[in-house]
Amino acid sequence: MADNQEMSSLEKKVAEQIEYYFGDHNLHRDKFLKEQLLLDDGWVTVATMLKFNRLKNLTSDAAVVVESLQKSKAGLLEISDDKTKIRRNPNKPLPENNEEYKDAVKHKSIYMKGFPINTTLDDIKEFLADKGTFENIYLRKGLDKAFKGSIFAVLDSEAAAKAFVEREDVKEYKGNEMIVLMKDAYFSKKFSEKKQLRVEAKAKVKSEKEETQKQAEEELKSQFEQRGCLLKFSGDLGQTSREDFHAVFSEHAQIKWIDFTRGAKEGNILFQSSAKEALQKCRDANGGEDPKVKDQVVQWEILEGDTEMETLKKIIESQQESINRRKGGRGGQRGRGRGRGGRRDRGGREQGQFKGKKTKFDSDEDADEGKKTASAKKRPLESNGQESGEPVSKQVKTDNGS
C-alpha cells in the first residue's frame, strides 16, 4: 500500500505544505481556507489547493498531492473516495482560538537570530528538518520587507521548545553564531534592554542639561566681570519699556542686559563695552543733549566703584534666579539674554535658544509580540507558506491568505 512506501523528497515537501495549510497555526488565521471548509462539510478540492502559491511551486499534479498525503504518517488529513478532495480529519478538530490556546503557543515558541539575510524559508526548513517538529516558522522582516536574519518558530510542545534551545547543533549556522532563546525570554531581554536604554537616555539628557546650565551660569558671571559698563537711569518714566531704551542706544552700542520693570522710577543698563562711550555717542547724536526716552527727560549716571559692584551683584542674583526657574524642566533655556532683563544685544541682535532633544529609540527587533504590531496583525506572513509579501487581498486569491 502507498502509506508503506518510502516518501520521495518532493512528496515529503508536498505533504508538509498541505498539512501546514490545515494545521492549527495557519487555519486559525486563513480566512480563504476557512471559507472553503464551510462549502462542503470541510472538504476542499485538490484543484483548489493547487492554486496556493507554495504548493503550486512544488507541483501542479493532483496525483502527486494524493500520493503524498497517502504516504504521510501525520494523520491530519483524509482523502475523499474519488481522490478529488481533502479535509482535516474530524478526529483531529481545530482547537478553539482562545487565550489558553494562545498562551500554549507562546510557551512552545522559540526565537533564533544569526541567519544571513539572503537565507530563504526553504534553507531554514532544511536546517531544522531533523531538529524537531515545527508547526510554524516565521521569517521576521523589517519595514523594507527584507529578512532581518531572525525567526520565530513554533514547535509541537513546550518541552520540545525548551529542549530545542539547549541543543548545541543549533548554535551555529554556516559559520554564523546563533542566538537561540525561548520567545518569552527574548521579549524579556528586549524589554530590559529598552528599559536600560531609556535610563541611559534620560541620564544623558540630564547630564547635557546640567552641563549646558553650568556653562550658562559661568558665561553669565563672566559677562559681568567687565567694569565701567553700567549706566543708571532715573526719572518720571511713565509706561516706558525696556524696548524703548533699546531703541535709544541701538545705533550706538550693544546692550547685554536691562534691569528695569515697567512703571519703575529707575533702572540700569549693562553694555557690552564702555557705558560712558555709549552715553557720549547718544549725546553727540542728540546735539550734545542728554537723550530722552519716549520724550521723557531721563537722568543718566555712570556707576563706578562700590556702587557699580553692588548693582552688578544684584543683577547677577536676578539673572541667577531666572536661570534657576528654567531648571524646572520646561525643556531648556530660551533666550539666555532675556528674562527680567530684556533682549540680548539689541544693537547687533543675537538671541540664543536651546531646546531639549527628543530621543528616538530604534525598534530593532522589537514589537512583533510585546506590542503586537499592527503590521503583524494585518498581514501575518506565512512561514512553511509563502514569502511573497503580497497584500492580503492577493494572497487570499492565490494562496492561503495568511
Q: Go through the domains of the chain in sequence order and give each one's CATH number.
A: 2-88 (1.10.10.10), 99-192 (3.30.70.330), 224-326 (3.30.70.330)
pLDDT of residue 183: 92
Rounded Cα distance between 370 and 8, Å, is 41
pLDDT of residue 101: 86
Interacting residues of 251 by C-beta distance below 8 A, sequence separation 6+: 285, 347
Rounded Cα distance between 62 and 395, Å, is 21
User: At 172, which helix (H) or strand (E)?
Assistant: strand 172-173
Give the closest residue to 245 by CA, choosing from 226, 257, 121. 257
pLDDT of residue 294: 87
Beta strand ranges found along 251-316 (DSSP E): 255-259, 266-271, 299-302
Rounded Cα distance between 132 and 298, Å, is 93
Rounded Cα distance between 129 and 116, Å, is 18
SS (H, E, C) 140-163: EECCCCCEEEEEEEEECCHHHHHH
Rounded Cα distance between 301 and 200, Å, is 53
pLDDT of residue 368: 41
**What digits encode the pLDDT tens for the residues 86-125?**
999 999 888 888 888 888 889 999 999 999 999 999 899 9
- 87: β partners: 78
Write the burial class of residue 233 (CB in 10 Å: 0-12 exposed, 13-18 middle, 19+ buried).
buried
Write the burial class of residue 60 (CB in 10 Å: 0-12 exposed, 13-18 middle, 19+ buried).
exposed
pLDDT of residue 204: 92
Give the closest residue to 25 by CA, choosing from 394, 388, 381. 381
SS3 category, 337: coil
Rounded Cα distance between 213 and 319, Å, is 13
Query: How big is the chain, counted in residues?
Result: 402
**What digits encode the pLDDT tens for the residues 157-182?**
999 999 999 999 999 999 899 999 99
Q: pLDDT under 50 in the chain at which residues?
A: 1-4, 330-402
